[in-house]
Structure 1
Amino acid sequence: MTLYSEIPAILAVAPNGARKMPADYPNLPITPAELAREARDCLAAGASVIHLHVRDDAGGHSLDTGRYREAIAEIRAAVGDDLLIQVTSEAVGIYDAAAQMAMVRDLVPEAVSLAIREVAPEGCDEKEFAAFCAFMREAGIRPQFILYAPEDITRYADLVGRGVIPGTGFPLLYVLGRYTVGQKSSPVDLLDFLATPVVRNQPALVSNWMMCAFGQFENACAMAAIALGGHARIGFENNTQLIDGTSAPGNAALIDQAKKGVLMLGRKVANAELARKLLSPDW
């Protein structure tokens, strides 16, 4: 039996997200060159994964594959393969499921995050979603399914159980809180996910899990996840404050404080090679 402390923790950086603007956060990386510099700094601080968003000319959220390719090329030039690059398929009220899946088919990224409630909601075309999942499996894409609430876990388990998502277990991301003004997530929020019957009674469905959180207590939430055997996604997408309430000068400072916590909890920090293995699904 492998103890949790023997499995290094993945620290994924989410450097910009879809909503924050440089006018509000001067150190927010947006351009490919800025993202590449941030990737290099976060790698040095302990990150093994970068969760990538790109923006349009007005600074808005975009799933444009050309913009993704440009950003990925810049990041690869800066860090090589020393970071796993996970793109987002997030809708942000702009993109429907078809557009999200079309982006993934066109880009063929090494990894992608997919919100179950966005790409496979109740009443969706499950045959199309099954075909999309089969495509990801054949293309070697690593999906991480995003769950915003315990009911999303039930939906995810149903899709796997009926073979719509082909496989036995996948990496999951638990989102603690919502995109609301002044949102501050709490480590207690994690319990709602870990206590669901699916997680307790069907552990094989969760090959590994990660959390993301909002606000000043992001690091506290991350440490709770690390202590319980999970992994953490950290960065300006959801939080720009250090644990003392001051503004972080960059995403690397958030990664650095998390890395120190990981080591204090008795776990090692995963590198990109291990992150790629851990985030590969059990197709």
Structure 2
Amino acid sequence: MNTLITVAPTGAESSKADVPQLPTTLDELVETAVRCEAAGASMIHLHIRDADHAPTLDPGRLRASVDAVREATDLVVQLSTGGSVQDPLDQRLTVLDAEPDSCSLTCGTTNFGDDVFLNPWPFMVDLYRQSIEREVVPEFELFDLGHVAALQRLLDQEGMPFGGKVHVDFVTGVPGGMPGTSAALLAGVELLPPQVTSWSATGIGRSHLPIAATSLSAGGHLRVGMEDNLVYARGRAVQHNDELVLRAAELATLMQRPPMTTTEARDLLGVKRR
């Protein structure tokens, strides 16, 4: 199977002041999306920033970002429902109003550095039910092995998502979550519910390349981008997200699993044509 490459270009953690090359304006986001699609990405995972480059869940900015990326590219547009760790739960539910193709759905609360990324069970169920009603495909984010069990509980209780496919992403290497090691990732893969149809993996920071190699060799897909990794190699900062996408595409091609087209990605995920 070819490889789904998701790019997560911005995130909510890094500041523009510390990382000037981080795409935080709408123009920068669209330019990044165009270049990353050309480099081999077929899905983009968006966090939005305000005029001061701070994380925001402003409905107008969310909608404008989805529309602009959709107009400029054929990428599958996924919005983060995690926002930043400070965002209230009720506001995070409003992300689906922007009508993305996909949304993230994190399967449990996790320590996140010095903070807590809150995802209580009732919030997970609310978000899941709304994603089905809105015909938005969820990507289940798994930061820990307990999240794999919570995904099983959610699917058993609520049934299959819109589109009939179950795609998950292992987020490894977050301080407080599962480590960015091959052993941890493969343990999670071993425990995946039978309903899962595809999975990808993310390695934060220096676990970026080992996790990518493990995922490809085990039949998984890849998520890369400056949300997860700001260093290309020792002593060399990432200058543009397309560098990380290009390297992922080269690695996937070397493993004889070249990047998917956006059409193949839509079929894999069960995404609605909008």
TM-score, L = length of structure 2: 0.86
CA-to-aligned-CA distance 1:159-198 (integer Å, 9 cap, x gap): 2112266687511111112158xx98333331231233xx
Shift of 1:269: 1.1
Alignment check: 8 A CA contact 1:177 1:189 kept: no
Give the structure 2 partner of residue 25 of structure 1. Answer: 19
- State whether structure 2 residue 103 is matched by structure 1 residue 109: no
Shift of 1:83: 0.8
Q: Helix, strand or coil for the counterpart of 1:188?
A: helix
- Note closer, same or farther for the CA distance 1:133–1:233 as it changes in structure 2 (3 Å cut): same
- Note closer, same or farther for the CA distance 1:257–1:184 as it changes in structure 2 (3 Å cut): farther
Give the structure 1 partner of residue 172 of structure 2. Answer: 176
Give the structure 2 partner of residue 90 of structure 1. Answer: 82
Alignment check: 8 A CA contact 1:184 1:216 kept: no
CA distance in 2, matches of 1:55, 1:161: 36
The share of aligned pairs that are identical, in percent, is 28
Q: Helix, strand or coil for the counterpart of 2:237?
A: coil
RMSD over aligned CA atoms reads 2.5
CA-to-aligned-CA distance 1:107-165 (integer Å, 9 cap, x gap): 2211111112258624x278xx35x5344224321110111101011111112112266
CA distance in 1, matches of 2:81, 2:203: 18
Q: How does 1:127-166 map to 2 (within 5 A)?
A: 129=125, 132-163=127-158
Give the structure 2 partner of residue 35 of structure 1. Answer: 29
- State whether structure 2 residue 180 is matched by structure 1 residue 188: no
TM-score, L = length of structure 1: 0.83
Alignment check: 8 A CA contact 2:165 2:268 kept: no
User: Which structure 1 segments of 5+ residues have no match?
Assistant: 1-6
User: Which structure 2 segments of 5+ residues have no match?
Assistant: 110-117
- State whether structure 2 residue 71 is matched by structure 1 residue 77: yes
CA distance in 1, matches of 2:62, 2:157: 33
Moved over 6 A (4+): none
Q: Which amino acid is the alignment partner of residue 226 of structure 1?
A: L
CA distance in 2, matches of 1:269, 1:169: 20
Give the structure 2 partner of residue 47 of structure 1. Answer: 41
- Note closer, same or farther for the CA distance 1:62–1:125 as it changes in structure 2 (3 Å cut): closer
Q: Which amino acid is the alignment partner of residue 260 of structure 1?
A: E
Q: Which amino acid is the alignment partner of residue 216 of structure 2?
A: I
Give the structure 2 partner of residue 4 of structure 1. Answer: none
Q: Helix, strand or coil for the counterpart of 1:274?
A: helix
Tell me the number of residue pairs that the alignment of Structure 1 and Structure 2 aligns: 261
Give the structure 1 partner of residue 264 of structure 2. Answer: 274
- Note closer, same or farther for the CA distance 1:269–1:251 as it changes in structure 2 (3 Å cut): same
